[in-house]
Structures are given as structure tokens and as C-alpha cells.
Amino acid sequence: MKSATRAGGLATILHSVPAQVRYLSLDCFDTLLWRNMNLPVDLFAGLDHPGGGMETRIWGETRARRIIPYRDDRDEVTIDEIYENMLPAGTAEERAAGIAAELAAEAAHCYGFAPTRDLMVDAKRRGLKIIIVSDTYLSEPRLRGLIAAAAGQAVADMIDRIFCSCEYGVSKAGGLFTHVLAELGASPAHILHVGDNPVADQKAPEKLGIQTVHLEQFDGESDQRLRQEASIASLVDPTTRVTVPAYQPHRAAIALRPDDEPASLLGHDVIGPLMTGFADWIRAEMDAQDAATGKATKLLFLLRDGFLPGQVFLARHLDLADRAKMVEVSRFTAAAASFTDTEAIERCILPELHMGSLAVFARQLLLDRDEVNKLKNVSKRQFVKAIADPRRVRHIVRRSGEMRDRLIAHLASHGVERGDSVMLVDLGYNGSVQNFLAPVLERDMGLTVTGRYLLLRETTRSGHDKRGFIDDRNHDLKLLHALSESIALVEQVSTLAQGSVIDYRRNGTPVRKAAGVKGGQSEVRDAIQKACLDYVTRADAGFVRPAASDTADARRRMCVAILARLLFLPMQSEVTLLADFSHDVNLGTDDMVRMLDLDDATKGLRRRGLFYIKNAARMYLPGELRDHGLPINLSIFASRRFGLDLRKQDFDVGAVPLPVMLMDADGDHVVIDVDAVPTIDGFYQALIPVGEYDYTPGIQLGRIADWVQVEEASFHSVDSFLAAKENEEGVTATLFYEAMEEAAPGLHRCTGEAAFVLAPLPAVAKRGEPMLLSFVFRPVITRAEAQQAKPRSVRAAA
């Protein structure tokens, strides 16, 4: 029979059990009882001790385990001894109360693992006795009571004997199985032991001849991902692991995942629990709206991004299929249907006018091709004046009313009727569609309109009835803003393979633009979505019954940690899977933006260092920088999440002096040392002052390097450069090399200490503001290293 199994195969291991086996021996924790949290010590977070229960409880157990072996000549301790050492000045009543609180917490956070229960049922059917062999500080009566409380009395009643390490003074690895064999009067061949610990549950019993099956809870990547989710949960909400555990209700379902394909890892283990939590919250919000309005709320999932949330909702709550509809309403069509007057037009256009092209805004206002061409090249102030012209306003309002009629016809084709109570459901972030449509739908159709979103981060309080599964009721705006920066990733795995709606026919049939997403991307997205729906179908399959702590709040906490981990600490498999994804800007244009540009991000980090990433605006920067190590992405998250006031000088550490000659127009010169600060991969950046293009710099590379790689040299305005604008590229410098031989593109050998590179001022130089030269280089072999490599006699002669 197998010596190891994943959770999905656990219930069938007795199908090939040897005939002499008479006992099924089970480990308890993480085999029969699982906890609704990442680590066993998370349990202590909710205990009421000054400063937090986790550390206090851990220190108490550590102290007991240090003392008991010397005092009583045994290696295992009881929970009573732990509390004696944790509360040495406490009364017997205080210690008893603490133990009772801990046992209650165990009962609340533990649940029976269904595949293990099924294995026990099969064992009883075959006539086997069942024993529990556990490394625990709980006595047999306490552990049996916990099993009954967490997994049910029926599970506890199947257990014939329980062996607890604290009652024998030795652990499983230290000899507990010897006592088990003696008390049962059994030979090793009579026992099959199953557990998750490779030492305590496999190596130790196998030394005695006991046959074992190792329960492999998680593959390596899943274990790492769960640890990182729990870690980032503490940054998301500092109460985590202080007053509440790092909840992980999805652990059992992840253990039961049928395959380890990258799309399954992302879709099943990450997007699956995120969307399932969202769907259950939508159900609760719908029920509340039903009660408030006295009407049956109709759910309108907004395509395209609402596609996967809608599919998950239907799979999770099939009984509500007749009340959940997929409607095609984009930001473009919602805005186009909202122009009732000049104020409505300006409310849509002015906040976004600082970015984007005027042609896009003109098309948003439903202007025809000739009007777009007339306005696309005027100044923005002229554009605003032109669209406020009363005749043009009347023209826009009329076309908008026609668009609104067609959009209403589309809603009607999906069962929306006058006077209905509707809930718009989307991934969200600002709820722009609701902002545009709610006033006109309430006025023209008498609808009650609410909006419910996965993540809601309103930059302006709209006053509309909006909520987010993740919003400011539980989280501060800094966190919500941080989560929204790379949220396009979730959009791309949630959408469907069709173009965005840009209009409707008179009967409400959508008119879509051509889909711009590549076929390969669609295939990967479809596989992710299939895996997500697979999770939905087995989300509860691992529970004999869910833990009492598996509440709506625990699921929300889990989902925020899942989302933050995905966005800021991606796995390598996730980066590889998404490497070729592009993002549809979806503003009535055909613009596509790459989700990941690994080479460009590395170049930016190499040329600008950590200060660059603090303010870089990219689609999925943490994914691009994943190969550069956890510290960088963890720094990005901390900076974004807490809005840290970090400045360039805070990042400039480990500088080396770089000699630079500055020459003016009269031929006078001065030599200064400029600090060159490390970026990554051994590169350094030196910011060389050139005044208002007053000085020509000569960088004396020969003084510090024998071989050097030059990465970049460009002139910049000091103010714009230090503002850390990622797209501030500056003017590329034309370099002249003296006493330097180019061995490969950018790689030079300095023939002596007099070697230098000259960066003449650009022909486009304009005076009026301080400028600098950003010079990025890598000393491949330093002057000191080259000198050290010479024979001693040569160094002495030199």
C-alpha cells in the first residue's frame, strides 16, 4: 500500500490494507482535527492576556518545557503545568479559568476533517479498532471532549483508545509508540498509523515496524502561499495574531485540490475562496435589501468584469438563479447614458481631463467623427469651453437620451421592470457605473438602485447606496488604495472573451467592440475560471462541520489576506502564468496594456533603485519584481499600505565616492566626489549636478574600476527627477570615452586610472532650472580588485 497520500486519497487507503492490521492509528491535530487558522499558536491570539495572548502563552509553554525535564525526568508537559509557569503568581481559580478559555478556543477553532472521518467509517466497516496517538499537552478526557465538540459525538464514539504524550511523559518521536504497543498487547504489524508529521508520524513508528501512511497536507507552493497569506494578514490588519488568529477557512479545500497545474493553483486556491467569500456576502446583502424594500432584489452582474463573480454566485446559490442576471453595462455606456445637462457632462469629463486624449473624451460624449476630429487637437481649456456650448450640450443630451433608452431596453430584456429593487454587482473600486446610472434609472424607471462590490474605494463620497465586501467599514483608505493599484489582475481573470459593450440596438441587444485579448490569454483565463468554479463545488467538502469560528467576518479577513498576498507577494507560478496577459483599458478605445513587463521593470529598478519602485505606476509591479526577492515586494506593500514618508535619501545607503570633473564654458574645472548609490544587480547610480546646463561632466571611472559596464546616462530636471515620476526619461546623453576600450556593448576596460567618460551638454539644453546627469554603471572589476589580483612582485614594483 502507499506510504504517503494527499488528502483526496485519504479515505481510500484501507482498500489495500494488509490482512494482519487490526488497528487504525490516527494522529489528532492536522489529521483528524484541523484548525481554522494558519499555525497552531494562532489559537492563542484570542486569549485574554495583557499585550496579547499569543506571546504570553508561548512563553509559558517554553518555560514549562525547560523546567519539567529536569524536575520530573520527562519530556512532555500538561496544560496545567503550562499555566502554572505562565501565571506563577496567579491563583488556582485564575489558572483554571485560563485553561477553560483555551479549551473553549480550541473547540471554536477546530473542525473534523471529512476525509479522515470517512477513513474512520471505512475502518469500522472493516472491523478495525481506532486509536488516536497524539503529541499534546491535553489529557485523554480533555482531548476526547475536544474531538466530540469539534467533530461531533459520532466521530468521538468511533475512537476506542486515545494515547496522549503528556500522560506518558514522552512524545511520539521519543517513544510513545512503545507504550501504545504494550498497552494494546499488539505487535507492530497489527497497526497502521496515519499522520501529517514526517518524523513523529512516519519515521518514529516505522523504526518499531509499524506500517505508516504520511498525510501530505499541502504541496510546497501551497504551504508557502498559506504562510504568506497569514503573514500579510498581520500587515493588513494589525489585530491579526494579537486579538484574532490568522483565519484560513480555505485550508481544507486547498488540501483536496485534485491537481497541481498552475492555473489550478491560482484559480482554485486563490481566486476560488476570494470569489466564494464575495458571493456569500452578496447573498447576505441581497437578503438585507429584500427586508428593507419589501421586494425581491434583482442582482445585475455587470459584464465584463462581473462575469466570474456572477458564475460563482450561481454555482454557490443555485436557488437564486432566477434573480441573478448578467447585464452588459460598461463605464462607457453608463456615462454616455447619463448626460442630462451641462452639469452632468462636466461631472463626467472634468475630473478625468488631466489624463487621456481629447479624442477619447469626445467619443464618450457621443460626438460624431467630424466633431471628434475638430476637437481632438485643441487645448483642454478650449475643449471644456466647446462642450459647454448650449447647442452642443443640447446635441449631447439628445444623443445621451437615445442611448439611455437603448440601455433601459437592454435591462428590460433581462427582466428589469419599473419600480424594481436592483443591486449592481461588480468588482468595483469606485462604482462609476452606479454613479452615472443610479440617478437616471431612479428617475426614469423608479428603480431602487444599490451597488455591491468586491472592493470599494471611493475617492469622492457619492452619496449612493454602496458597499464593498472589502471597504472602509473594516479597513482604512490607505489599505484600500494599496489594494486597488494592481487590481487589474483580478479584472483580467474575472472577465469573459468578448469585447466591451459600446452601444445597444433599439431592442437592447449589445453592440460590442472587437475583443482585443489574445487567444492564449483567453485559454489561460478560462482554465483559471474553471478551477475557481471547481473550488466552489468543494468549498465545504473538507468539513465534518465547519468550525464555530468560521464566520462571515473570518471569511472576509481570509479574503483580504488572499487578495493582498496575490497583489504584493505573488508566487513564481502566478507570474509565469500571467506573463503574457494584457489589460483592456475599456474606455471606448482599443488600448491594451501589458500586465507584466519584466525587462522594463528590471531596467527601471536598475536605473533608479528602490526609490523608483516607491512611486512607480505600473499594472502589476510586484509581479514584475518578484524575481528580485521577497524584501523588495514586502517593502512595496508596507510603503503603500501605511503611506510611509520615505524619501530618496532614505534609500541611498552603501554609497561609493565617484570622482567627477565639472568643466565650464571657459575651460575652468573642478573635481568633486559624487556619491554613487547601489540600485540592484551590482549597479550604482550617481546624480551629477550640472547647474542650469553650466557644467560638462567627465566621470573618472578609471579611478575606481578596471572593468565597468555603463547602463544609462541621461540629463534631467532636478525637481522632476526627485519627484520620482517613472515616465520622466530625460534627455539621453551622448558619451565619449577616453582611455577606455569597449569589449561588448556597454562593457568597457579602463586602460588606466586616467580613463574617463565625457557627457557633453545636449544641444537642446535650456536654462532656467537646475539640471542633473543620472549616470548608472556597474564596476565589474574594481580598481582595488584588479590591483589585488596582480602578482605581489608587480604590486610592489607599482
CA 680 to chain centre: 24
CA 695 → CA 368, 699, 702, 720, distances in Å? 53, 12, 21, 19
Question: What span, in angstroms and rounded, lies between the C-alpha atoms of 51 and 421?
Answer: 47
pLDDT in the model for residue 788: 79
Tell me which of 3.40.50.1000, 3.40.50.720, 3.60.130.10, 3.10.290.10 is the CATH number of domain 4-221. Answer: 3.40.50.1000
In 3D space, the residue among 777, 762, 783, 755 whose CA is nearest the CA of residue 716 turns out to be 762
Query: Three-class SS of residue 617?
Result: coil
- Please state at what angle helix 552-568 crosses helix 477-484, rounded to 10 degrees: 50
In 3D space, the residue among 488, 453, 487 whose CA is nearest the CA of residue 473 turns out to be 453
Longest Cα–Cα distance in the chain? 102
Query: Three-class SS of residue 530?
Result: helix
pLDDT in the model for residue 751: 95
31 in Cβ contact with 196 (< 8 Å) = yes
CA 98 → CA 57, 103, 280, 619, distances in Å? 10, 9, 35, 49
- What spatial distance separates the first Cα and last Cα of the chain, rounded to whole Å? 74
Question: What span, in angstroms and rounded, lies between the C-alpha atoms of 168 and 161?
Answer: 14
H/E run at residue 101: helix 92-109
How many other CB atoms are found less than 10 A from the CB of residue 265? 23
Neighbouring-strand partners of residue 204: none
Give the CA radius of gyration of the chain.
Answer: 33
Question: What span, in angstroms and rounded, lies between the C-alpha atoms of 596 and 353?
Answer: 27
Question: What span, in angstroms and rounded, lies between the C-alpha atoms of 192 and 19?
Answer: 11
351 in Cβ contact with 364 (< 8 Å) = no
- Is 333 buried (19+), middle (13-18) or exposed (0-12) by CB count in 10 A? buried
Question: What span, in angstroms and rounded, lies between the C-alpha atoms of 271 and 262?
Answer: 12
In 3D space, the residue among 7, 101, 18, 111 whose CA is nearest the CA of residue 56 turns out to be 101
How many other CB atoms are found less than 10 A from the CB of residue 587? 18
pLDDT in the model for residue 519: 65
Q: What is the DSSP letter of 543?
A: B
The DSSP bridge pattern shows strands 696-699 and 756-758 to be antiparallel
Task: Mark 283-303 as b/e (b = at least 16 C-beta within 10 Å).
Answer: bebbeebeeeeeeebbbbbbb
**Which residues contact residue 16 at a Cβ distance below 8 angstroms, ignoring those fewer than 6 apart?**
1, 2
425 in Cβ contact with 306 (< 8 Å) = yes
Domain ranges of the chain: 4-221, 225-336+417-594, 596-645, 652-789
CA 728 to chain centre: 29
- What does the block give as the cell for 783? 580598481
Q: What is the mean pLDDT of each run of 10 residues along the chain (798 residues)?
A: 88 92 98 97 93 94 96 95 96 96 97 98 98 98 98 98 98 97 97 97 96 96 97 95 95 95 96 98 98 97 96 96 96 95 92 86 92 89 92 95 97 97 95 95 96 94 94 95 92 90 96 75 93 96 96 97 97 92 61 79 83 69 89 89 84 90 91 94 94 93 96 91 66 95 96 96 77 95 82 49
Question: What span, in angstroms and rounded, lies between the C-alpha atoms of 560 and 544?
Answer: 26
In 457-595 the beta strands, taken as DSSP E runs, fall at 466-470, 501-504, 510-512, 582-584, 592-594
In 3D space, the residue among 200, 167, 149 whose CA is nearest the CA of residue 77 turns out to be 167
**Which residues contact residue 531 at a Cβ distance below 8 angstroms, ignoring those fewer than 6 apart?**
261, 263, 264, 266, 267, 268, 271, 272
Half-sphere exposure of 162 (CA within 13 A, CB side): 24
Sheet containing 466-470: which strands, arranged edge to edge? 324-328, 298-303, 421-429, 448-456, 466-470
Global confidence as pTM: 0.91
The DSSP bridge pattern shows strands 298-303 and 211-216 to be unpaired
Task: Mark 414-424 as b/e (b = at least 16 C-beta within 10 Å).
Answer: eebeeebbbbb
Question: What span, in angstroms and rounded, lies between the C-alpha atoms of 294 and 553?
Answer: 26
24 in Cβ contact with 192 (< 8 Å) = yes
In 3D space, the residue among 616, 643, 755 whose CA is nearest the CA of residue 699 turns out to be 755
Tell me the Ramachandran region of residue 366: left when phi exceeds 0, alpha when psi lies from -120 to 50, beta otherwise: left
Question: What span, in angstroms and rounded, lies between the C-alpha atoms of 440 and 436?
Answer: 8
**Which residues contact residue 380 at a Cβ distance below 8 angstroms, ignoring those fewer than 6 apart?**
353, 358
**Which residues contact residue 378 at a Cβ distance below 8 angstroms, ignoring those fewer than 6 apart?**
358, 386
